[in-house]
Structures are given as C-alpha cells and as structure tokens.
Amino acid sequence: METKLSKEKEVLDYLNISRTTLWRLKKEGLPTVKVGNSQRYDIEEVKEWVLNDEEVNYQPKEIEKKQAIIEPSNNETLHFENAEITDNEINNTERILQEYPISLTYLLEHNDKYLQKIFDKECIEKLTENLRNYDDTNVSNAKIVKIFSFEYLKLLKQKHQEQTKPKEFNTELNNFIQQDNNSIRVIWGNCLDLMQKMESESIQLMVTSPPYYNAREYSQWENIDLYLEDMRKIIRESWRVLDNHRVWVWNVGDIFDNDRKVTKSVWGKKRIPLGAYFIKIFEEEGFEFVDDIIWDKGEVESKRFMNGGMDYPFYQYPMNCYEHILIFHKHRLDTQKIPCPVCGSLNVNGNTQSEIGVQSWECKNEKCFVRSPNNRGKRFSLRTNMMQYWFDEDINNNRVF
Ligand SMILES: C[S@@+](CC[C@H](N)C(=O)[O-])C[C@H]1O[C@@H](n2cnc3c(N)ncnc32)[C@H](O)[C@@H]1O
Ligand SMILES: [Zn+2]
C-alpha cells in the first residue's frame, strides 16, 4: 500500500503539536522514514501515537464532525448530530452537555455495575447518600462529573486507608490534623513516631530540611550508615503517609565531614554527597526522583580550600556553596477504575502505564462526548485528572484531589 509521507513541519501544523512532543515520541519509538538525507513521517502513524499519548493535549486544527449521543436517566435516547468537537474539547463538551444535562442519579445508575465490583453494599449506600447532599439542578455537567469523581475517590481512599491502617493509629491526632483545612497546625514531636500514628495518604505535600548528619550538636550519629538508616525509616513511613501522586521536597546539603566508617580523625574529612545518597534511598523506597534544584548560597565561609595561603601541596581548589532541593513524586499504581473526566463513566479500560505507578485509562462509553478522530475514547489517568480536570474552587477544599 502506498503511504503519503509528510515533512516535519506538515506534521506539526496538521496535528498542532509542538516540536518537543514530536521529538519525545520519536525517542519513545515512533518510526520515521528516511528519504534521501531527510526524515519523513507517516501522518497516520504519528496521529495514532499522539492519540495514545496521555500527556498530549491533542487539539486538531481541523473541525471534526462528530456525533454525540447521550442517554439521560429516563432512558430516552437523545441524538445530537454534527456536534463540532473543535479546538477546545472541554468547552465544547460543556456546551453539548448543557443542552442534554446529566445528573448524579444518572451517573449512579450508569456506573452501578462497576461500583458493585469495587464496593460492598454499605459503601454504595454511603456514596448514594453523600451524593444526595448536593443539589445538582442547574449545575453544569462538568461539575457533576467532578462531584461524582470526588465522592467516588473519597470512598476509594477510605477503603485504602482502612486496609493500610497503622498499628499505632491515633484517632485524636488524626482528628486534629483533619480539622479545619484552612488553619496551620503545629505538632511537636519525633516525626517518625508521629507518622506511625497517622492515616495513610493523608498529607498532600511534604517539605523538610532534615538534620545533615553530624553537622550540629543536637544531632549526632556514630557513623554515616547509621544516620542514613534512621533517615530511611522516616522516608519509608512517609511513603505511606504522603497522598498518591504528590510531591516530596527534601532540602539537604552535601556536607564536609568524616563519615566515621573507617577513622574518626579530622584528617578523614571529605565531601559527603548526602544529596546523592538520599536520591538512592528515596528511589529504593518507591519514590520517583524528579528534580534537583540547586540552592546557590553564595560566598563560601570556609578557608580550607586556600591551604593557608601556601602553594604546596596543591590542595587548593575552587569551592562552591550550595544545597540540594530534591523533588520526588509518589506514584502508587491506581488499580481501581477512575471515572472518565469527560462523561463520569466507570466503563473504562486500563491502558499501558504511562509512567511507573501511573495507570492510564481509556473511556469505553460509546456515548461519551469526546472521541478521537480515529474513534478512540478519551484517555486519562488519575494524575492528569488531578492536574487538568478536577480543580474546582468549591470542591477542592478536600483531601482527595
Ligand atoms: C537542618 S535543621 C532544619 C531547620 C529548619 N529549616 C529551621 O529553619 O528551623 C533540622 C531540624 O530537624 C529537627 N529534627 C531532627 N530530627 C527530627 C525528628 N526525628 N523529628 C522531627 N524533627 C527532627 C532538628 O531539631 C532541627 O530543627
Ligand atoms: Zn467518557
């Protein structure tokens, strides 16, 4: 079969994607065809890759004529032909949905089969009751999907929390932490002891500057290995307590000291790369290392690199003065279905893991409002939903998103 090959610029223009995205897809294996000294692309092949790529917000420039159908709770099927899915799929979806509104009751009925697979009867009743607290009349459909997703994920999280409750769980402490989201609460104590009493996945961001080995009198260890072992216990427990798909910010300096593994004398002092050691520990404990921001602290105070002004034995060297701000992500694989961010359906199938621990899903609801030009359902993950769809001022003051 003869295929028409396109130049890079044509591909970029036609698919409305950036050059960086195309380069990334190529790195991930997108095939290209060599024509003379230049590269060409099979546009259909690129399109398929783009549609399968969860990170790309694919917005074709051309107007696609689509058919959208929705079945409201009274089972009367409404057809909406030639709805235009154009450059902004969310606005468009919202516009279509405004004409044919869905409701929380509809989503409950539509998803009943899937809910029964995940939750027991009591749990589903709780979900129904929680949803009854919302008045969904005159509420936009996107918001109804958000509310449904929010209440569904709240239950999913509660289930996970019950399954991973620590032995030393302390109700009083957790109630104190969970109360009024808008206030600052300070808890004084050993962070390991405290975390062992805390609910799983109950903290949305962690930031710390840990003690830097034996840099201060208040914190002294026999040697570097014992110090790192203590820090590892804290990092391991923080994996349980940090919410899923959230961020850990770890500020640490590479200190100059004796690691005390062989000798303890002042002559054994050297640079101890705590930043590097912590990256390894975090990775071993399941976190993903994402970035290392260098905090430039300016002038060095120490004069040790000057060798007392003497030019022998060439121990003089330039020094810098910095600390690391290490960024890690937690990605615990979402094994349970996540509602489609467009239509709220749990009729979704798992795709590949777009990143270790991040499950991506594809909406299989034939009546969903967003389908790709190749008639593939909406692709999404909990991570992208958290970042792109579910922010809502009215319902974001919560512990799910
Ligand atoms: C490098 S300092 C960070 C100081 C902090 N950035 C500040 O401005 O106060 C490390 C701090 O961690 C505290 N620390 C050490 N071990 C701890 C533990 N197990 N639990 C809680 N805090 C601890 C120390 O008391 C010290 O205040
Ligand atoms: Zn959908």
- Cβ of 217 less than 6 Å from ligand 1: no
Q: What is the pLDDT of residue 219?
A: 77
**Cα 197 to averaged position of ligand 1 atoms, centre (Å):** 19
**Cα 159 to averaged position of ligand 2 atoms, centre (Å):** 24
**Cα 218 to averaged position of ligand 1 atoms, centre (Å):** 9
- Of the candidates 182, 183, 174, the one whose C-alpha atom is nearest the C-alpha of residue 241 is 174
Give the Cα separation of 193 and 178 in Å (integer): 18
Q: Counting beta carbons within 10 angstroms of the beta carbon of residue 227, is it exposed (0 to 12), middle (13 to 18) or buried (19 or more)? A: buried
- Cβ of 211 less than 6 Å from ligand 1: yes
Whether the CB-CB separation of 58 and 19 falls below 8 Å is answered with no
**Cα 19 to averaged position of ligand 2 atoms, centre (Å):** 29
**Cα 184 to averaged position of ligand 1 atoms, centre (Å):** 18
Could you read off the pLDDT tens digit of each residue along the chain, which spans 401 residues? Answer: 456 788 888 888 888 888 888 888 888 788 888 888 888 888 888 887 787 776 776 665 543 334 333 333 333 333 333 333 344 444 555 555 555 568 899 999 999 999 999 999 999 999 999 999 888 887 878 888 889 998 999 999 999 999 999 999 999 999 999 887 778 899 999 999 999 999 999 999 999 999 998 877 777 899 999 999 999 999 999 999 999 999 999 999 998 888 898 888 888 888 999 999 999 999 999 999 999 999 999 888 877 778 788 877 777 888 889 999 999 999 998 889 999 988 899 999 987 666 778 888 999 987 787 777 777 888 888 888 887 766 655 554 444 43
Which ligand is nearest the CA of 111, by number?
A: 2
Q: Which residues contact 62 (CB under 8 A, 6 or more apart)?
A: none
Whether the CB-CB separation of 381 and 338 falls below 8 Å is answered with yes
- Measured by CA distance, the residue closest to atom 24 of ligand 1 is 211
Which ligand is nearest the CA of 237, by number?
A: 1
**Cα 289 to averaged position of ligand 2 atoms, centre (Å):** 32
- Cβ of 72 less than 6 Å from ligand 1: no
- Measured by CA distance, the residue closest to atom 17 of ligand 1 is 190
Whether the CB-CB separation of 161 and 178 falls below 8 Å is answered with no
Q: Which residues contact 198 (CB under 8 A, 6 or more apart)?
A: 166, 169, 170, 173, 174, 177, 241
**Cα 264 to averaged position of ligand 1 atoms, centre (Å):** 25
**Cα 341 to averaged position of ligand 2 atoms, centre (Å):** 7
Q: Domain 209-329: which topology?
A: Rossmann fold (3.40.50)
Q: What is the pLDDT of residue 311?
A: 76
Q: Which residues contact 86 (CB under 8 A, 6 or more apart)?
A: 63, 64, 92
Which ligand is nearest the CA of 190, by number?
A: 1
Which ligand is nearest the CA of 238, by number?
A: 1
Q: Is the dihedral of CA 394, 398, 400, 401 positive or negative?
A: positive
Q: What is the pLDDT of residue 80?
A: 34
**Cα 208 to averaged position of ligand 1 atoms, centre (Å):** 8
Which ligand 1 atom lies nearest to the CA of residue 191? 20
Whether the CB-CB separation of 346 and 267 falls below 8 Å is answered with no
For strands 203-208 and 242-252, give the pairing: parallel
Which ligand is nearest the CA of 220, by number?
A: 1
The best mutation among 218, 221, 278 to test binding of ligand 1, ranked by most ligand atoms within 8 Å of the C-beta, falls on 218
- Cβ of 286 less than 6 Å from ligand 1: no
The best mutation among 186, 187, 190 to test binding of ligand 1, ranked by most ligand atoms within 8 Å of the C-beta, falls on 190
> Tokens for 393?
């001022």
Which ligand 1 atom lies nearest to the CA of residue 210? 10
Strand partners for 363: 348
- Of the candidates 15, 6, 1, the one whose C-alpha atom is nearest the C-alpha of residue 39 is 6
- Cβ of 218 less than 6 Å from ligand 1: yes
DSSP characters over 135-146: --TT--HHHHHH
Give the global pTM: 0.74
Which ligand 1 atom lies nearest to the CA of residue 192? 19
CB atoms within 10 A of CB 246: 16
